[in-house]
Amino acid sequence: MSKIYEVRSVSKSDKKIHHWGAKKTREGAETLLVEKSTGDKKKWADKYHASWWVEEIDTTGMFEIPSLPLPRERFTTNISIVETAPEYWNTLRINIVNEAGERVAGYDRNYSNMYRTFEPFRQGSKMFALISSDYTVTSVMDLETGEIVASETPDSGGFCPVGFYVPDWWDTNDGSIIPGQKYWNEDSEEPKGNFGFVWGCIWGDDSSWKVQFLDLSQVQKGILVRDERFGYIELATNEKLDPKDFIDCQFYDGECKVTFSVFSQYDLKSGKHERHEFD
């Protein structure tokens, strides 16, 4: 049986129960209780609260917080340049390695720049990665088998991925609220690796990167869907930043809101907005 331990108190005035945080061990909760109700807080605690205690809560069968490190920290790539004929661009040979430095899979990319086209992610206990072996294709690789389980069809004039982001649970949560305590709800269990983002451009329109949505909910059935639901948005990426710094996802009442950092240009003298596609 799984358990957590939550610090609680009851008000003197209205007998309302208050919740002050939970820990995975009784010792941790007892320490938290002391912090909240003794020392310089004792006068306040005694004045407004009739009693304080640690409540034991059975969390068997509840959501389990994903383990650390993050998938994108567990798997990395070693990249080798494959030289081709002078009139063609070079290609890449990519080996995927785990934390122990062991090769777990590999693939070739028919373009000379990797950009940020490797994004490991998880769905439950299974590990996948978004990759782009063809410069106009987004694909999903099973990191256990090295097989491509879902993929787009190549299109020489299609959308060219240059970066991927699949929000992990730890990208949007800090672990301070744990399953079973008062403030845990279904929003607290998101994201689950069921969606992501790709930025890039239609071939030839590489003056900026546009962002599109990836539906990953059916990749284990071989289905990957990309769409332009956000319209023509020029994403303000930065190689020095993590994708979560310019793509921010928040969950509330069963819905997800996403905030993008976007590129916008103005004439300094007139203040005129020069990116007419935003108007």
CA distance 131 to 277: 29
| Banded pLDDT at 279 (limits 50, 70, 90) | very low
Among 176, 77, 78, smallest CA distance to 130 is for 77
Where do the structural domains in the chain lie, given as residue ranges?
A: 3-58, 115-260
Q: What is the pLDDT of residue 273?
A: 85
pLDDT value, residue 276: 47
Nearest-angstrom CA–CA distance, 6 and 26: 9
What 3-state class would DSSP assign to 92? strand
pLDDT single digits (tens) 58-114 = 999 999 999 999 999 999 999 999 988 887 889 999 999 999 999 999 999 999 999
User: Side chain identity at 219, as an amino acid letter?
Assistant: V
Model confidence, pTM: 0.91
Whether residue 241 has pLDDT greater than 70:
yes
